[in-house]
Amino acid sequence: MTMKTSPVAPTLKIFFTRVLPLLWRLSPRLFAASVAVHLLQAAIPSLQLYWTQALIDAVAAAARQEPGGWSRAGLLLGLQGATFALEHAIRFGGAYVLAATKQKANFELNRSVIDKCARLPLVYFDQPDYYDKLQRVSKGVEYRGVSILEHGFQLLQSVFTIAGFLAILASLHYSLALGMLLLVIPIFLVNIRIGQQKYRQIVHQTPASRRAEYFAELLKGREAAKEMRVFDLFGYMKEQWRTLYWVNAGERIALEKRSLLKQFWTETFSMAVTTGTAFYLLFLTVRGALTLGHFAALTQALATTRHQLIIAVVNLSRIHEEMLFMNEWLAFLALPEETGTERDDAERRKAENGEADEGETKRRKKASREADRSEPIQGDAERLFTERSGGSGSCRIPVSSASGRDPAGISVRGLTFTYPGQAEPTLRDISFDAPAGRTIAIVGGNGAGKSTLVKCIMGLYEPEEGAVSLGGTRIGAGRERYGKFGAVFQDFVRFQFSAQQSIGLGDPERLEDLARAETAASRAGAGEFIARLPQGFATPLGAMFQDGRELSYGQWQKIALSRAFFKDAPYIVLDEPTSAMDPIAEAQLFERFARLAAGKTTLMVSHRLGSCRFADLILVLRDGRLVERGTHDELMRDGGEYARMYATQAKWYLKMNDSRPLASSGQG
């Protein structure tokens, strides 16, 4: 009965040992109420059956003019009516309890996935496999966690109902009860198999169904709306979506047909056996071996037991099917998390309060000993920086303090990073030192690895080799490191909040600090256009919600830059921060940058080499390697890759300038 990929017993064990306790913890009161409701509902059919049997016999006795027959029959009818009324009330009460439990379970299961996503390393978000899992887990828990509850309660109810009915059947002969039990085994096996097939089908279909959703989003969403029209893409995209949709839908319909046919035949078989048994009971009644009441009760018991047994096994197999998804959810929650998450912080606080357990304390002490043994990065960094820049003759930037510790510089050693699933490293053996309070520009061609490098330095990606130190302290990738950075990414987010909030999100704890938002905006050059918005800083931004004001891309970029300034972080990463800004805004920003950055160490990625002139140090990347470093003047003097790129850009501007007089002279 066990399957290679998803054995029934362990899966059901996890249901009873992990999922049920978890659902209990959601709300013990609601859970207990649900159990009580289902137990009562389970007891009612047996009770009704007893009333029915007694009523029929009482009516038969009354018809035979036996004394007290009619009053007994009347009493039994009243009891039967009262039981119906009770069932009615329980049904409605139960529906309410279930609805409330569903909402709670829905919230908690979704919350668990949201919390987990926040603690996962960024690298997961670059893997299609992760999105497949996330899709199944998110879509799964939304209704599976809840329906597992429903099936669980229905199973509980059926088991109790069945127990009562089997007792009635066994009272005549044990083989009747046993036969009924044996009869449902094929139904159970068929349903378990169907559940497994459906699960495997969903796993196999997830990539295609995500792709179909992607096409649907292109067809319906705002992001692609312009290009969809201009390039007349609706026909092509709709065809792609239609094909993917029907590949999956066709497979589902086929599996559904096979499943229903199997269910039909197994249930037909059980129905035929039950009907045969009812004929045998009729034979016994005619021969006088059974009373009329017994005959009625037993035939009803047979039909109901069969029906309830089918319900029970179907519920059991549904639980199994849903548990296959819940297992995936449990595995998702068990994925390794990045360091420096809230959970880590809680542990650290515990340790600080002396609450950490012995093992944890040992682990931390070991880690701290290892950190002590590690290279004295900052001293080395400064030495290296001076040596390398001096040695190559390419950099005369004074380090912040020749002898003392650099308070907030960045030191990178031997950093090598490969994206998951890639054969070649994207970054190879990168080492450099960024002195405190300086601006370091990173330049290079498309795909050279600039964005990847800044993400590795921030601790958003964990490199397979190398170390990063901030202010002389080696800090592992994770929140502890990226928490020290403010950033404007190439693909910054256009938060559909008010202007103030959108900037204040740079530091959620000071979200409401309007004065701070105003200062940050004016530093980023966003103050003027925000002041012109209908409600100033209170204006909702973006076109997604009511009364929102859409901004130009450059204005959005200024909001993103304001957000980076809003956060009081010692380090700033600016990945193409001015790509959409007008030349005047860009020039103003860079002219004031030393003052704006206010002593922060800044890493800036830019293709506009003119804007790198002001940088204290320029790093040139090619194919993931650091090939040149120095100031603008030094690199120009060296006549290497940077000088060539700069000359190309400059030539373009000069040509433009040259062509103007030509054009005008031509006209004149």
- Binding residues vs ligand ATP (CB under 6 A): 126, 419, 422, 426, 444, 446-452
CB of 576 to ligand ATP, least distance (A): 7
Return the SS3 of 446.
Answer: coil
* C-beta of 437 vs 624, nearer to ligand ATP: 624
Return the SS3 of 465.
Answer: strand
Contact in structure between 90 and 41 (CB atoms under 8 Å): yes
> Using H for helix, E for strand and C for coil, what is the string for 466-519?
EEEEECCEECCCCHHHHCCEEEECCCCCCCCCEHHHHHHCCCHHHCCCHHHHHH
* C-beta of 449 vs 540, nearer to ligand ATP: 449
CB of 217 to ligand ATP, least distance (A): 20
The amino acid occupying position 396 is R
* C-beta of 121 vs 293, nearer to ligand ATP: 121
CB of 627 to ligand ATP, least distance (A): 13
CB of 392 to ligand ATP, least distance (A): 23
Name the DSSP letter for residue 375: -
Q: Which residues contact 271 (CB under 8 A, 6 or more apart)?
A: 306
* C-beta of 449 vs 471, nearer to ligand ATP: 449
CB of 574 to ligand ATP, least distance (A): 13
What is the C-alpha R_g of the chain? 36
* C-beta of 119 vs 450, nearer to ligand ATP: 450
Q: Which two tokens stand for residue 60?
A: 């038969």
Name the DSSP letter for residue 447: T
* C-beta of 424 vs 547, nearer to ligand ATP: 424
The amino acid occupying position 142 is E
CA–CA dist 369, 489 (Å, integer): 36
CB of 456 to ligand ATP, least distance (A): 9
CA–CA dist 233, 229 (Å, integer): 7
* C-beta of 87 vs 429, nearer to ligand ATP: 429
CA–CA dist 231, 3 (Å, integer): 50
CB of 477 to ligand ATP, least distance (A): 15
CA–CA dist 53, 298 (Å, integer): 9
CA–CA dist 68, 616 (Å, integer): 109
Selection from 558, 634, 553, 541 nearest residue 596 by Cα: 558
Neighbours of 43 (CB within 10 A): 19
CB of 607 to ligand ATP, least distance (A): 6
CB of 126 to ligand ATP, least distance (A): 3
* C-beta of 180 vs 605, nearer to ligand ATP: 605
CA–CA dist 517, 541 (Å, integer): 15
Between β-strands 410-417 and 465-470, what pairing exists: parallel, antiparallel or unpaired? antiparallel
* C-beta of 140 vs 444, nearer to ligand ATP: 444
CB of 426 to ligand ATP, least distance (A): 4
The amino acid occupying position 467 is A
* C-beta of 434 vs 460, nearer to ligand ATP: 460
Residue with tokens 């349903």: 191
CB of 117 to ligand ATP, least distance (A): 17
Name the DSSP letter for residue 464: S
| Measured CA angle at 72 (ends 70, 54), to 5 deg | 110
* C-beta of 143 vs 419, nearer to ligand ATP: 419
